[in-house]
Chain A
Amino acid sequence: MSRRHLVPAGVLLALLVYPVINPWQPYPQGVMLAAFLLAISASSWNIISGYAGYISLGHSMFLGLGSYTAAIVALHTGVNPLWVAPLGGVTAVLVAVVFGAIVLRTRGHAFVIITIALLLSAQIVATNWASLTNGSDGITLALPFWSSDFQNIPFYYAFLLLLVLTVLFSGWIARTKFGTGLIAIREDEGKAASIGVNTTIFKTMAYAASAFFIGVAGGVYAYYQTFLNPVGSFAILGSVLIVLSALLGGRGTLYGPVLGAFLVQLVNEGATVYGGNTQSRVLILGLILVAVVLFLPAGLLPTIEAAWRRRHPVAIEFTDQAAALSHDPVAAQRELGTPTAEAGRPLLEVRGASKRFGGLTAVDGADLTVREGSITALIGPNGSGKTTLFNLITGTMPADAGTVTFAGRRIEKLAPWTRAHLGLGRTYQVTRLFKNMTVLQNVVAPLPDGRLRTMLADAVSGAEADRARHLLDIVGLGRFEKQRAGSLSYGQQKLVELAQVLMLEPKLILLDEPAGGVNPSLLGRLGEVIRELNRGGVTFLIVEHNIPFVLELCDPVVVFARGRAIAEGPPALIRADPVVLDAYLGDDWRGADAHA
């Protein structure tokens, strides 16, 4: 067990023995019990809102759904609510999947809004569907079946068990490629889609995962309360406590929401005891929420961790240029297997692709063929539509017209992640790494296929992580695996992005200005890596302004202008083509020539 888990394990032990050494104290036990419930809720919330970054302001709905499910089933079947509490989790998951699948297809803000609307809708349904829920009169359940000598101690252990399970579940998710994908979505959703993360499925699964344990806890809670009604079960104040707990402790961390829940429960209890009525409690909680957002936005645990890091800095290392330059070229080849293709067959065919932004036609009926096994260059003046064409090929943007065929399959209507699964990888003109993730997490994040087994594979250790380390060694950044990607230099980020794409095991890699910001010796290495990979069977399409680099590396060269290709041929021909020289290479070419 690592040192990180020692303190939580000690606390857990103390909580386990507490009712034994201090059994006749119902009040503190009740407060603890409420804290456990809040911690379960906040840890659950953390999966969708902490890991994936999609804020839910109505998460207490799942608690109410769980309560009502267990209560209604218990009432109709006569079974004890405690035994059917897991059904509460099932209901919560079903509701999350149905509404998540509708709302989470888009990026951004619709989700947060729907979570509030769902909570209020649930209250309306529970109030008005009286035949099922007994309306606003609520449902009264039987008293606990055990002797009153045991007080609420069985509930104490039930909630504690659920809390431990929730934290283990959350920790397991964080270790999988699924968890890495969720964080990738939080950091940069468009980029996540381009490295094979099926964002809709990931987000919906995260929402479902964040609903289960809170739903089960709701079932137990109904029995604990022995009474439930619409207003109490679907209270928005419950959601406030959940959000505040996770935020205060540190959202996105494993233990933050638990720590936050204990603190918030203490404050809440104090406000109820000393602050008078519940009215002033809303004011106090609101003020705390505002203060936390303004002054402690990262939350307690991350802030403490950052302070610790500042006091105990790790020595900064530099790019392992020597290692990168001396890296065994065969290794890179091995990495990508043996060449399979008979060279020369068209791998990617774009026909009549067009894209307009309002009045501006960025790509205008463009045709482009990339042959298998080639390193094709795409050059042309700024604004000629090269990057937009990349976006159409990878599915970042939908094309207005035209077809894209990849490896014999029409792909222009497919989602970006499906195209990535087919073997289409890309890098960006301005690097788009997940800046708050470590370098290793960045490289391990891509998903080469859409299978569940791949999603749930271990990301931080095991085969996937080894592969990622190996790819980092190829680009000479193996030493940096534990660094935050955002702390690397621009050129280093370019190399990490290349390693990231390689994780997809792509057939075709689209490189958008790979040489920008990379120093000359590393640039040489970059060219070498590209050639090695190419020998290993990977086809390249490269947009680049560094003309000497292009002319040396690529064949054929396609010249793009005003949204379509105007010339294509081997570098020697393009170099000599007066039309191309005058119209499109122009100053660029002569300038580069003077430097060369």
Chain B
Amino acid sequence: MAQLVQAVALGVLIGGIYALMAAGLTLIFGVLRIINIAQGAFLVLVATFTWWLWRMIGIDPIVAAVITTPLMFGAGWLLYRFVIARIRGQAPSMSVLLTFGLALVIEGFLNVVAGNRFRSATPAYFEQSFSVGGILLPKAQVYGFLAAVLVLGGLYLVLTRTWTGRAIRATAQNPPAAALVGIGATGTAALAFALGSASAGVGGSILSVLYPFFPASHYDWISRLLGIVVLGGMGSLPGALTGALILGLAETLTATYGSLQWSTLVFYLVIMAVLLVRPQGLFGTQLREDAT
């Protein structure tokens, strides 16, 4: 029983972190209808940079998010303005190929600059745990989870309480109508992409402590994140949260009762089972534009 509670608690902690990472992906998809295949590479890029900050300057990896987040916001904005905006209006598959290319560029860049080897940031609390009623919660996971919840909450406030957020949501629902009421589509799109990238800033810093990474591990990450998004329903934020929790639980439960190697596979099987029953994902709805 204690083992089960332990696994569930860990699953929720990890799920919260996955939720943050997937939120950026869903936000970008919701507004731009672009699947950002490079989101995983953003995470690994930030993780590497965070590792470097920790190693060279001694900044705590999770605290480093304060630096990496605005950096990624700016980088995302520039990337959208100067690269991704160029293929607006083309077939959606082109954006998949473009962001796939960007992911490769980042991977190759990291290979050349940082070398093709495993890294992991190991601050002092790395192997310590909080003990709550006999259940061990690793400090790194707890800190990461808190940071993720904080940022997700902030993202939610930005989207619901600010003019910018309303503009982003309006553009997500109906770009022409948003343009008619004075919301510039390109500017809003750039903002959404920047916000999505910024979430990879926080996510990547957390990742550097929790998981060993190397340049090519972005495939694992994008595959997990995309799995979450498909499971929850493309473009749905509640769907991404639910999907992330399911992934977190599937991983820890499989690792506890089965073996670690199969944990990702179990999650993919869950996705297939869900798609078998609900082709549009858990929270996905058929959109009006699908039909007309």
Interface residues of A in 510-528 (CB under 8 A from B): none
Known contacts A57-B100, A106-B280, A190-B290: A284-B83 contact under CB 8 Å? no
A99 cross-chain contacts in B, Cβ below 8 A: 272
A57 cross-chain contacts in B, Cβ below 8 A: 37, 96, 100
Of A114, A127, A282, A396, which contacts B291 at CB under 8 A?
A396
Of A102, A124, A236, A283, which contacts B265 at CB under 8 A?
A124
- In the complex, the answer to whether B83 meets A112 with C-beta atoms within 8 Å is no
Digitize B205-236: 1 where CB-to-A-CB distance is under 8 Å, 0 elsewhere. 00000000001100110110011011000100
Known contacts A102-B275, A283-B112: A190-B291 contact under CB 8 Å? yes
A297 and B90 alpha carbons, distance in the complex (Å)? 9
Q: Is B292 an interface residue (CB 8 A)?
A: yes
- In the complex, the answer to whether B288 meets A243 with C-beta atoms within 8 Å is no
- In the complex, the answer to whether A282 meets B104 with C-beta atoms within 8 Å is yes
> Which B-chain residue is minimally distant from A110 (CB atoms)?
B230
- In the complex, the answer to whether A113 meets B226 with C-beta atoms within 8 Å is yes
Of B96, B108, B280, B288, which contacts A357 at CB under 8 A?
B288
- In the complex, the answer to whether B261 meets A128 with C-beta atoms within 8 Å is yes
Known contacts A280-B111, A396-B291, A396-B292: A113-B280 contact under CB 8 Å? no
A289 and B105 alpha carbons, distance in the complex (Å)? 9
- In the complex, the answer to whether B234 meets A109 with C-beta atoms within 8 Å is yes
- In the complex, the answer to whether A113 meets B94 with C-beta atoms within 8 Å is no
A203 and B112 alpha carbons, distance in the complex (Å)? 40
- In the complex, the answer to whether B103 meets A391 with C-beta atoms within 8 Å is no
Of B97, B108, B226, B286, which contacts A247 at CB under 8 A?
B97
Known contacts A120-B264, A391-B292: A243-B97 contact under CB 8 Å? yes
> Which A-chain residue is minimally distant from B272 (CB atoms)?
A102
Q: Is A407 an interface residue (CB 8 A)?
A: no
Digitize B177-203: 1 where CB-to-A-CB distance is under 8 Å, 0 elsewhere. 000000000000000000000000000
Interface residues of B in 43-84 (CB under 8 A from A): 83
Q: Is B176 an interface residue (CB 8 A)?
A: no
- In the complex, the answer to whether A127 meets B261 with C-beta atoms within 8 Å is yes
> Which B-chain residue is minimally distant from A397 (CB atoms)?
B291
Known contacts A109-B234, A117-B223, A293-B87: A243-B100 contact under CB 8 Å? yes
Q: How far is the CB of B114 from chain A (nearest CB, A)?
A: 10
Digitize A121-158: 1 where CB-to-B-CB distance is under 8 Å, 0 elsewhere. 10011011000000000000000000000000000000
A293 and B219 alpha carbons, distance in the complex (Å)? 20
- In the complex, the answer to whether B92 meets A109 with C-beta atoms within 8 Å is yes
Q: Is A576 an interface residue (CB 8 A)?
A: no
A247 and B276 alpha carbons, distance in the complex (Å)? 31
A79 and B121 alpha carbons, distance in the complex (Å)? 51
Q: Is A116 an interface residue (CB 8 A)?
A: yes
Q: Is B174 an interface residue (CB 8 A)?
A: no
- In the complex, the answer to whether A280 meets B112 with C-beta atoms within 8 Å is yes
Q: Is B161 an interface residue (CB 8 A)?
A: no
A410 cross-chain contacts in B, Cβ below 8 A: none
B98 cross-chain contacts in A, Cβ below 8 A: 289-290, 293-294
Known contacts A190-B291, A294-B87, A397-B291: A113-B101 contact under CB 8 Å? no
Q: Is B130 an interface residue (CB 8 A)?
A: no
Q: How far is the CB of A302 from chain B (nearest CB, A)?
A: 13
- In the complex, the answer to whether A286 meets B35 with C-beta atoms within 8 Å is no
Q: Is A173 an interface residue (CB 8 A)?
A: no
Known contacts A190-B291, A280-B111, A280-B112: A289-B275 contact under CB 8 Å? no
A124 cross-chain contacts in B, Cβ below 8 A: 261-262, 264-265
> Which A-chain residue is minimally distant from B263 (CB atoms)?
A124
B153 cross-chain contacts in A, Cβ below 8 A: none
- In the complex, the answer to whether B109 meets A283 with C-beta atoms within 8 Å is yes
Of A53, A107, A279, which contacts B91 at CB under 8 A?
A53
- In the complex, the answer to whether A116 meets B219 with C-beta atoms within 8 Å is yes
Digitize A493-512: 1 where CB-to-B-CB distance is under 8 Å, 0 elsewhere. 00000000000000000000
- In the complex, the answer to whether B261 meets A289 with C-beta atoms within 8 Å is no
- In the complex, the answer to whether A283 meets B105 with C-beta atoms within 8 Å is yes
- In the complex, the answer to whether A125 meets B265 with C-beta atoms within 8 Å is yes
- In the complex, the answer to whether B290 meets A107 with C-beta atoms within 8 Å is yes
> Which A-chain residue is minimally distant from B90 (CB atoms)?
A297
Q: How far is the CB of A236 from chain B (nearest CB, A)?
A: 6
- In the complex, the answer to whether A121 meets B108 with C-beta atoms within 8 Å is no
- In the complex, the answer to whether B292 meets A113 with C-beta atoms within 8 Å is no
Of A121, A293, A397, which contacts B97 at CB under 8 A?
A293
- In the complex, the answer to whether A286 meets B272 with C-beta atoms within 8 Å is no
A336 and B103 alpha carbons, distance in the complex (Å)? 55
B19 cross-chain contacts in A, Cβ below 8 A: none
Q: Is B102 an interface residue (CB 8 A)?
A: yes
- In the complex, the answer to whether B35 meets A112 with C-beta atoms within 8 Å is yes
Among A57, A116, A117, A128, max chain B CB count under 10 A is at A117
- In the complex, the answer to whether B86 meets A285 with C-beta atoms within 8 Å is no
Among B83, B105, B109, max chain A CB count under 10 A is at B105
Q: How far is the CB of B33 from chain A (nearest CB, A)?
A: 9
A105 cross-chain contacts in B, Cβ below 8 A: 275, 279
Q: Is A55 an interface residue (CB 8 A)?
A: yes
B97 cross-chain contacts in A, Cβ below 8 A: 55, 243, 247, 289, 293
Of B37, B108, B220, B281, which contacts A284 at CB under 8 A?
B108
- In the complex, the answer to whether B93 meets A55 with C-beta atoms within 8 Å is yes
- In the complex, the answer to whether A286 meets B92 with C-beta atoms within 8 Å is no
Interface residues of A in 373-424 (CB under 8 A from B): 387, 391, 396-398
- In the complex, the answer to whether B226 meets A116 with C-beta atoms within 8 Å is yes
> Which A-chain residue is minimally distant from B104 (CB atoms)?
A286
B35 cross-chain contacts in A, Cβ below 8 A: 109, 112-113
- In the complex, the answer to whether B108 meets A113 with C-beta atoms within 8 Å is no
Of A116, A280, A289, A387, which contacts B101 at CB under 8 A?
A289
Q: Is A160 an interface residue (CB 8 A)?
A: no
9 CB contacts below 8 A, A to B, read A53-B93, A102-B275, A106-B280, A109-B29, A110-B281, A113-B230, A128-B262, A280-B111, A290-B105
A residues in contact (CB < 8 Å) with B: 49, 53-55, 57, 99, 102-103, 105-110, 112-114, 116-117, 120-121, 124-125, 127-128, 190, 236, 240, 243, 247, 279-290, 292-294, 297, 357, 387, 391, 396-398
Q: A110-B279, A114-B230, A396-B292 are in contact. List 13 more A-B contacts (CB 8 A).
A: A57-B100, A107-B290, A114-B271, A116-B223, A121-B268, A127-B261, A236-B219, A280-B111, A280-B112, A282-B215, A286-B103, A387-B292, A397-B291
Q: Which 3 A-B pairs have the closest CB atoms?
A: A283-B108, A286-B104, A289-B101
